[in-house]
C-alpha cells in the first residue's frame, strides 16, 4: 500500500507515524526525513482525510499540526479521544501558544514541538510515542482478557466478586445476599477458578486493571461512567449502589 505524499510502500506489521499537516511542502519533507530514519509513514493533508483512514489497528503515533483549515489539530485529537482511539499524539506547530499547549498536554499529548524542530529531537520524540503506544496496546489486550473472564461469571458470582473485593468476609457476604456461607464459598471458589487467580490480592489486582481500563462499573451496579475507576476497590470501600438480592 502507498499513501499520499509517500514514494515508498508502507511495510505491513511495522509501527507507523501518521503525519497530519496541511502544508504540502513541509508534509513531504517530514515524510522523507522519517522514512530516511527507517520509520513507516503515512501522510494526510487534513483531519477529515485522516479520519477516513480509520480504523487503525497497528502500532503507531500521530505527528499533528495545530492550525489547519476546518478541523484543527486539537479538535482532531479530541475527536479521537471521544472515539476511544488512544494513538499517542506529538504536536508540531509554528503557532504554539500557552492555552493550546496546555490543552494538548491535558489530552495526553506526548510533546508539543515548535517549528522549525531539531530533527534528532523529533525522531527521538516519535520513537518515545511509539513505545508508549506499545505499552497501551499490551495493557489493552490484558484488560480485554480480564473482561472476557468477568463476562464468563454468572450474575451471582459477579455479586460475590464485588463484595469480596470490597473486603467483605464470607459471613458478611452471606448476610448481604441472603444466602448460606456454604453457598458463598462455592461461588467464591468458582470466581477464583474463572478469573484464574489463587489469592485475593491477585483478584483485586485484576479488577483494578479492568476498571482502570474501561472506567465502567465491573459489577453492573452503577451507570455513572466515572464511578468505577478504582472507587470500589480502594481501601475496602463499598459501592452503596451494589445490589443486595435476597433470592
pLDDT of residue 235: 32
Rounded to whole angstroms, the Cα distance separating 42 from 60 reads: 10
Take residue 104 and report the three cell numbers written for it.
Answer: 494538548
User: For residue 63, is pLDDT > 80?
Assistant: yes
Backbone angles phi, psi at 189, to 5 degrees: -65, -40
- What is the reported pLDDT for 167? 85
63 or 6, greater pLDDT: 63
Q: For position 216, what pLDDT does the model report? A: 53
Separation between Cα atoms, residue 166 and residue 176, nearest integer Å: 12
Beta bridge partners of 148: none
Higher model confidence: residue 50 or residue 148?
50
Q: Return the exposure string of 113-145: e unless at least 16 CB atoms fall within 10 Å of the residue's CB, then b.
A: beeebeeeebbebbeebbebbeeeeeeeeebee
What percent of the chain has a predicted confidence (pLDDT) above 70? 78
Please state, in angstroms and rounded to a whole number, the distance separating the CA atoms of residues 121 and 20: 18
Note the pLDDT of residue 172: 93
Tell me the three cell numbers of residue 100. 493550546
User: Would the pTM of this model clear 0.85, i.e. be above it?
Assistant: no
| Share of residues in the chain with pLDDT > 90 (%) | 38
What lies within 8 Å, CB to CB, of 40 at 6+ separation is 10, 11, 14, 15, 16, 17, 60
Q: Please, what is the average pLDDT of the chain? A: 80
Question: pLDDT (tens digit, 9 = 90+) per residue, 81-106?
Answer: 888 788 899 999 887 677 777 877 77
The C-alpha cell that represents 96 in the structure block: 504554539
What pLDDT was estimated at residue 170?
A: 94
Measured CA to CA in angstroms, residue 45 lies from 27, 89, 106, 155, 171 at distances of 8, 16, 25, 50, 63
pLDDT of residue 46: 95
Q: Are 80 and 96 in contact (CB under 8 A)?
A: no
The residue with greater pLDDT, 183 or 159, is 183
Please tell me the predicted confidence (pLDDT) of residue 213.
47
Q: Give the angle 129-133-135 at the CA atoms, nearest 5°.
A: 120
SS (H, E, C) 103-124: HHHHCCCCEEEECCCCHHHHHH
Q: Look at residue 12 in the predicted model and tell me its pLDDT.
A: 56
pLDDT for 229 equals 39
Amino acid at each position: 500500500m502507498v499513501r499520499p505524499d509517500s514514494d515508498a510502500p508502507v511495510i505491513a506489521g511495522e509501527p507507523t507515524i501518521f503525519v497530519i499537516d496541511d502544508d504540502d511542502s513541509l508534509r513531504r519533507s517530514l515524510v522523507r526525513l522519517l522514512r530516511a530514519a527507517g520509520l513507516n509513514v503515512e501522510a494526510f493533508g487534513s483531519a477529515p482525510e485522516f479520519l477516513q483512514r480509520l480504523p487503525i489497528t497497528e502500532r503507531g503515533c500521530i505527528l499533528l499540526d495545530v492550525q489547519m483549515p476546518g478541523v484543527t489539530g486539537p479538535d482532531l485529537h479530541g475527536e479521537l479521544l471521544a472515539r476511544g482511539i488512544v494513538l499517542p499524539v506529538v504536536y508540531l506547530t509554528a503557532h504554539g501558544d500557552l492555552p493550546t499547549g496546555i490543552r494538548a498536554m491535558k489530552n495526553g499529548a506526548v510533546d508539543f514541538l515548535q517549528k522549525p524542530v531539531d530533527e534528532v529531537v523529533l525522531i527521538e520524540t516519535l520513537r518515545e510515542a511509539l513505545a508508549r503506544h506499545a505499552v497501551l496496546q499490551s495493557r489493552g489486550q490484558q484488560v480485554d482478557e480480564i473482561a472476557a473472564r468477568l463476562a464468563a461469571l454468572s450474575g451471582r458470582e459477579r455479586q460475590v466478586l464485588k463484595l469480596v473485593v470490597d473486603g467483605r468476609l464470607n459471613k458478611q457476604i452471606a448476610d448481604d445476599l441472603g444466602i448460606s456461607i456454604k453457598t458463598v464459598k462455592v461461588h467464591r471458589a468458582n470466581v477464583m477458578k474463572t478469573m484464574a487467580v489463587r489469592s485475593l490480592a491477585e483478584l483485586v489486582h485484576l479488577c483494578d486493571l479492568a476498571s482502570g481500563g474501561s472506567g465502567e462499573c465491573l459489577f453492573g451496579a452503577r451507570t455513572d461512567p466515572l464511578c468505577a475507576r478504582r472507587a470500589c476497590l480502594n481501601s475496602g470501600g463499598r459501592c452503596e449502589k451494589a445490589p443486595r438480592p435476597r433470592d
